[in-house]
Structure formats: C-alpha cells, structure tokens
Structure 1
Amino acid sequence: MNNGAPGILVTGASGFIGRHFVAAVNGKFRLFCLARRSQKEVGIPYQAG
C-alpha cells in the first residue's frame, strides 16, 4: 500500500467491475472498498464495522 497516494472509495468492490478495478489499481492508491460479499469470496483484506 502506498501511504502517500490519494485515496479512492470503491463501491461495489466485490462485483465484476469493482473486483477488476481493485486488482488494477492496488498498490497505486489507498483503497477504501465497500462490498456486500465477504473477504473470503473477494480475496481482499477488510475492516469489519
């Protein structure tokens, strides 16, 4: 993760487009993702809240 990079809020991160978008920009931006599916299904770290 690049802490100096701008942050992006991704809604629908577990959907088809969101999943591919997250994979493409991971490491280039700080990602804040909203998803309905669990982390196990999507394969990305998560913060429960």
Structure 2
Amino acid sequence: MEAMVTALTTGITGIATECLSALGTIVPAALPIAGGIIVITLGIGVFKRMAR
C-alpha cells in the first residue's frame, strides 16, 4: 500500500510541476495578446459612442 501511495504522490507532483512550467511558458506570450484584444474591444466601444 505504501508503494502505491508513493507512486501516486510522485506522479501527481510531476504533473503539477509540468503544468506550472507550461503556464510559465504560456503566460508571457498570452498577456500581450489578451491586452491587445482588450484595447481593441475598448477602442471599438469608444468609437461607437463617439460616432453617435
């Protein structure tokens, strides 16, 4: 039973480490893209209000 608990703990820890590593790689690339989408959306909203 102890071996199974150790194996599961090791496996889950490895998965968590890989997920955090992937997030660390993805977030720096995703933030400018998300920021650009927000700026464009807000810009369209302001333009629509000004056009009325």
Q: TM-score range by the shorter chain?
A: under 0.3
Name whichever structure is richer in helix by fraction: 2
Q: Which is higher, the Rg of structure 1 or of structure 2?
A: 2
Name whichever structure is richer in strand by fraction: 1
Q: Name the TM-score, length of structure 2 as normaliser.
A: 0.26
